[in-house]
Structure 1
Amino acid sequence: MTTSILIIEDEYALAAALSTVVRRLDATPIVAASGQGGIDKLGSQPFALIILDVGLPDMSGLKVLEKIQALPKPPPVLVITAHGTLDTALEARRLGAREYFLKPLNLADLQRTIREVFTPAKTEAPAQTAMIGSSERMQRVFALIAQASGNDAPVLLLGPPGSGKSLAAEVIHRHSARANEPLVVFRADEWPADRAEAALDAAISKAGHGVLFLDEISGWSKPLEAVLIHRVGDLKTRLFSASSHELSAVREDLFYALAVLQVTLPPLAERTGDIPALAASFLGDRVLSAEAMAALKAHAWPGNVRELKAAMNHAAAVCRGSTILPHHLPANLVKEEDTNHLEGTMKRSLAAWLDQKTTGADEMMPAYDDLLEIVETSMLETLLKRFDGKPTRLAAAMKMNRATLRRKLREE
């Protein structure tokens, strides 16, 4: 049975471009140039998907969306608009729109989303239960964690906030001889100064023969440090401690008591090669588009793995399909500065391509004009799609001579 997709769009050029996208996906486009025309077509045959413009000549696309949702089995709807406002976006989502796109459209993103309609995603992402990383820095960390898991010595975990110190503590405990005993976390900054000592003693008692995890030890007061150093010799509890900052202010005898084994977690910015695997662990069955992945790798990640997890939770919450696109990411991850990363990627790819094309004797080198023609042809093909296949629009927007552009397009 042929899959039909209804396009409710009054702008002829855009409707034609959308029809081309639909045909690429082996579906049949049916176009309606008005809201009522779209409603009438809905009564004549079933549709697997509807692409709906908000700005229609006879009624608001949101009114059409409301009528679509009143159907016994409404198909999924992708909403597009030239004038996105918060109210429009909220109303579209409230009325059940699967995705919301702003003009000028990124047809590649739209095509991916249409494809996803026919491959629904699971919405639950599994919790991260193991540490992830194939970078050299993390491989050294894993070796230290393995050593810490195989003995009973105190462990000091160092690293910036969000780098995974708590997870490392859980992994060491889970694979140690005390795995069946409790892991109790104590943070001194959660207690008033006059109650911190009693809270520490309560945590030690609760941990018993298990593990007491002293989080952010660098922020402790000197009196509380003194209390702990006097308790250490009599403890049956194994001690883990963690700090996001230097421990230069911690009393020396306490430092040596806590830092028998040290594990230092690197910031995410120093192991960007681990981002794909980490992101995948947070997203479950969803996948990242190449553009979204480029944005992730270009980000500085001041919040480290914790920030990445929050970003993936955000993307999963706003993405109705199976592929995370750039506009699904938090706004601070998709900035104009990220174009520097993309330009760098382009230059590296171009350098690799030129290296392949120009390897060999001088007399075998291709002509410069031939290489330029290949690059320019690819660039014009991409730009033409961006302007709905309209050379006149492309020439005007990019300040090109229309006659020259037409000649170049004929030569392709």
Structure 2
Amino acid sequence: MRVLIIEDEYALAAALSTVVRRLNVEPMVAASGQSGIEKAQRQRFDLVLLDIGLPDMSGLRVLEQLRALPAPPPVLIITAHGTLENALEARRLGAHDYFLKPLNLSEIQAALRDLLQPPATDKLPVPSTSSAPAASTPEQAVMIGAAPGMQRAFAVIAQACASEAPVLLSGPRGTGKTLAAQVIHRNSSRSAGSLVAFRADEWAEGEREQALLRAIESARAGTLLIEEIGTLSLPLQAILARTLAGSPPLPRLLATASGSLTELIAAGSFREDLFYQLAVLQVQLPPLCERMEDVAVLASYLAGRAAPGRELTLALETLACIKAHAWPGNVRELAAAMQHAAAVCTGSVALPRHLPESVAAASQTDTSGHLDVSLTRVLNAWLDQRLTGPENTWPDYDTLLAHVEKQMLATLLVRFEDKPTRLATALNMNRATLRRKLRELLGRE
């Protein structure tokens, strides 16, 4: 048996090769997309490990060509930059699974074992591209996030799009649970049917049962979204549980919850059987304070959406205020803040004074706080990725420090209008030292 590893990072390719050998399987490495395609065309492989970020082409293009082979092998996607579009496209093209860096090599080994050494009675067919859901178009893809928590959520959302299993979407209010449900429906086999949303507190007490029954009936050919399912009364929960256990045709069920359903079960206010019926797939959406690396991109996108027909950019000082705010209302609060900025800013650049007072004041009251926590989280994730594989393949300390310093200098130069003399003066740096670092790290004379 042979496994093809298409990965341009030498250390990670070596680590994956070690994992493959542990299963008594022969690994073969290709460092580019074209090389991987040519190897797969010349000989048969039992499985392919494929990185999306390749030097010559996107791994998704490679996946498309691998799936066109006469006997396409199962493909496991690995990526450092998980996005909703990549996850959906990988599923549409027939990828068997989708793993995010930094990789958990134990999980990779378990997935390889299941695919390469499956029990004879449990062999599953390779997913077909003909029945997989279509990927979102750029206009539809409004979920944004590079933070690890969002990448994990995107991977499960992609799995949900390729399935009809019930899905529980959890997370604090304002994190985008309803939006994620819309994405799942739009990219599922039920997309031709209606997405029917039901929320119990929108109905008077005496009308809720009939409203739920009407929603169930209307969604039989499509998807039923129960919002804040933890607020359903026990009688309504019983109706829903009976529906899910009934005869087809049944609606595809999606449910959102801001609180912990397991705590409600312990308190006797939520049915345990209903929980297991609906939580087949679980999408956990993190609060915005745990994905601060996404805030600048999100804010710019939401500002553009709040000002259709005109250009509205965010000044660096404005972004600093935005990053210093804790965002207890999550993405919903950020969207409202960008609408506020668009309403009060008559020019093309939103300044701190155009933000709501609570956000503009954040830079004065907490300029570090959760930003330091976010920096630590991102740095840990980056180090986990760099220190993958055997210790003798790890970069040395000076190499790691040079990479961090390079990014910092590049950012500082932008802030000081690409003028090293101003940068050296403002930060009390030795000019000769700065020139040497710019030459060594950024290739500038």
Calculate the TM-score normalised by the size of structure 2: 0.49
Instruction: Label 1:335 to 1:212 Cα distance change in 2 as closer, same or farther (>3 A).
Output: same
Q: Structure 2 CA distance, aligned partners of 1:195 and 1:293?
A: 47
Cα 1:376/1:151, change in 2 over 3 Å: closer
- Report the CA distance between 1:304 and its aligned residue: 0.3
Counterparts of residues 223-302 of structure 1 (less than 5 Å): 223-234=235-246, 236-248=250-262, 249=264, 250-284=270-304, 285-302=311-328
1:142 aligns with 2:162: no
Q: Give the partner amino acid of 2:297.
A: A
Equivalent residue runs for 1:202-241 within 5 Å: 202-234=214-246, 236-241=250-255
**Aligned structure 1 segments of 4 or more residues deviating by more than 6 angstroms:** 342-346
* TM alignment of 1:166-185, pairs within 5 A: 166-185=178-197
Query: CA 1:176/1:345 → structure 2, altered by over 3 Å: closer, same or farther?
Result: closer
Deviation at 1:340, TM superposition (A): 3.9
2:93 counterpart residue number: none
User: CA separation in 1, counterparts of 2:370 and 2:257?
Assistant: 36
Q: Does 1:311 align with 2:352?
A: no
- Does structure 1 conserve the Cα–Cα contact (< 8 Å) formed by 2:161 and 2:187? yes
1:12 matched residue in structure 2 = none
Structure 1 CA distance for aligned equivalents of residues 145 and 151 of structure 2? 7
Maintained 8 Å contact 2:160/2:184: yes
Instruction: Quote the residue 1:154 is aligned against.
Output: 166
Q: How does 1:41-52 map to 2 (within 5 A)?
A: none
Contact 1:128–1:281 (CA<8 Å) still a contact in 2?
A: no
The correspondence of residues 337-376 of structure 1 with structure 2, limited to 5 A, is 338=364, 340-341=366-367, 374-375=425-426
Query: Residues 135 and 271 of structure 1 are in contact (CA less than 8 Å); yes or no, is this contact kept in structure 2?
Result: yes
**For the pair shown, which has the larger CA radius of gyration, 1 or 2?**
1
Q: Residue 171 of structure 2 contacts residue 257 of structure 2 at CA under 8 Å; is this kept in 1?
A: yes
Give the number of the structure with larger relative contact order, counting CA–CA contacts within 8 Å between residues 6 or more apart: 1
Q: Is the 2:171–2:177 Cα contact (8 Å) retained in structure 1? A: yes
- Note if contact 1:209-1:236 (Cα within 8 Å) is conserved in structure 2: yes
Aligned-partner Cα distance in 2 for 1:376–1:282? 33
Q: Structure 1 pair 375/321, CA: closer, same or farther in 2 (3 Å)?
A: closer
Whether the 8 Å CA contact 1:127–1:282 is kept in 2: the answer is no
Rounded Cα–Cα distance in structure 2 between residues aligned with 1:243 and 1:343: 28
Change (3 A) 1:229 1:374: same
Q: Which amino acid aligns with 1:181?
A: G
Are the aligned partners of 1:161 and 1:244 in contact in 2 as well (CA < 8 Å)?
A: yes
- Under a length normalisation based on structure 1, what TM-score does the superposition of the two structures give? 0.52
After superposition, the Cα gap between the structure-2 partners of 1:305 and 1:344, relative to the gap in structure 1 and judged at 3 Å, is closer
- 8 Å Cα contact 1:128/1:282 also seen in 2: no
The aligned residue for residue 210 of structure 2 is 198
Structure 1 Cα separation of the partners of residues 357 and 139 of structure 2 = 24
Which residue number corresponds to residue 188 of structure 1? 200
Q: Percent identity?
A: 49
The equivalent of 2:438 in structure 1 is none
- For 1:312-332, what per-residue CA distance to the aligned partner results, in whole angstroms no more than 9, with x for missing partners? 011011111111110000011
Q: Residues 263 and 328 (structure 1 numbering): CA distance in 2 closer, same or farther, change over 3 Å?
A: same
Q: Measure how far apart 1:183 and its partner are.
A: 0.3
